[in-house]
Amino acid sequence: MIFDTDTENAPDAINEQSGMKTPNVSGLELRLAHPQRLGLRKRLGLGLFSKLYRDQVERHPLRTLFWECTLRCNLDCRHCGSDCKSDHVLNAATKTTQAGAAPTAPTAPAPQPQPQPAHSAQPAHPAHPDMPIEDFLKALDSITPHVDPHKVMIVFSGGEVLMRRDLEKAGLEVYRRGYPWGMVTNGMLLDEARFASLLKAGLHSITLSLDGFERDHIYIRRHPKSYENALRALRLITKEPSVAYDVVTCVTAESLKRLPEFREFLIAEGVKAWRVFTIFPVGRAATDPALQLTDAQFTELMEFIRQTRREGRIRLDYACEGFLGGYETEVRDNFYHCSAGVTTGSIRIDGAISGCTSIRAAHHQGNIYTDDFMTVWNEKFQKFRRREWTRKEQCADCRMWRWCLGGGMHLYDDNDKLLLCHYNRLNG
Ligand code: SF4
Ligand code: SF4
């Protein structure tokens, strides 16, 4: 069976038929169109989307605000420090209003970002204590006169947010101010009583980390009860119609083999929205080859997502982290864009103001303890919004730059050096 990555573009597709082969996914031999080639319709779509994105950059309406409320965690995940974490709770909030099929026409930049990169475990002995709720609320109250709270999603992230016994208090205060709120969790502490208490505090959306079947999940999470507890959480969440949710999965070379089976498992469990990430080679993940996909496996994953989306039995997306060439709109609902500093902001554990919680400290723009958040939001963030500085090294002559803008901000190290290009992986 032959698949092409852009079948709507026959003239371009003909030239693409001699593309590369990838390893086997779900028993089918796949002959892929060369992902470097973009068909005419997709190019037109990208052009229109770029205009909409530029307009969004000019207006930079705050739509999602992460609060990194704790660095404490009850797990010690192998990938801690990588970007395989779960900021992507926003997806749980936004996807409920979006169609499952990938659009072929351009859409406006999503009102809330897809960070994506996601995010989870932190050191067992955090370097910073939890931020007092009052400090966060003071910053939030300074933001409120400048926004419509109903249009700004507040996302509690960590660490493991449920380590905070006062999370419900924070949620209730946020809810009283008119903001929807959500959270990212590993599910370890999410039993029936805690879930009920969170719902009472106005919980609107939730992202649960589940990294595959028991063996794969425990390998990554390194706790014998991590799978059992995450499954308990999953079964609570899927039965609660008032909460938007998605399941996030870090895909490794091992778990990739079982992904088709895991998809069937999730469908049988009633999961409607699923998001997968690949592990970024920083932190612990950089020294653990078992966590990384080869370039061929990365392409295999893209193909798996594309096929799953076409089947339409579960909504599956890849994270927001990089431009994917011919796979644009095939593995995500929207064209690639980095919403950090454009519609997504964050308040980090130490008060630092940034774009999303996956971004390194060197790119922080201010601090709530010394600066007014909205002044920083409106007057700084130039690095996030004017991306010409990324046009160097491998991006200098890249023909994709006009759509990619050098990739997600979290892909840059402290010296503004790009660490990974997803598009080039697909051409590896
Ligand atoms: S080389 Fe740079 S501009 Fe080109 S696709 Fe990769 S990250 Fe984007
Ligand atoms: S920096 Fe941009 S691309 Fe990366 S996770 Fe955050 S929003 Fe997504």
CA of 112 to the centre of ligand 1 (A): 23
Give the pLDDT confidence score for residue 236 in this predicted structure. Answer: 98
- Per-residue pLDDT at 391: 98
- State in Å: Cα 417 to ligand 1 middle: 12
- Closest atom of ligand 2 to CA, residue 357: 6
Q: How far does the centroid of ligand 2 lie from the alpha carbon of residue 358, in Å?
A: 7
Distance (Å, whole) CA 372 – CA 36: 43
**Which atom belonging to ligand 2 lies closest to the Cα atom of 337?**
3
Pocket test for ligand 2, best of 64, 157, 359 (most atoms within 8 A of CB): 359
User: How remote is the CA of residue 224 from the centroid of ligand 2, in Å?
Assistant: 31
Give the dihedral sign, CA 174/176/180/181: positive
Asked whether the bond before 322 is cis by omega within 30 degrees of 0, the reply is no
Q: Ligand 2 mean position to 192 CA, how many Å?
A: 32
- 414: which 2 tokens? 């402290």
Ligand 2 contacts CB of residue 155 (under 6 A)? no
pLDDT number for residue 227: 95
- In this prediction the pTM is 0.85
Tokens of 353: 């103001």
Per run of 10 residues, the mean pLDDT along the chain (length 428 residues) is: 32 28 38 65 95 97 97 83 44 37 31 37 64 98 98 96 97 98 96 98 97 91 91 97 96 95 98 93 73 92 97 97 94 96 98 95 97 98 98 96 96 94 90
pLDDT at 278: 92
Please give the pLDDT value at position 103.
25
Q: Are 422 and 322 in contact (CB under 8 A)?
A: yes
| Closest listed residue to residue 275, CA positions, set 335, 205, 207 | 207
Ligand 1 atom closest to the CA of 398, numbered from 1: 4
C-alpha 270/C-alpha 235 separation (Å) is: 9
pLDDT for 76 equals 81
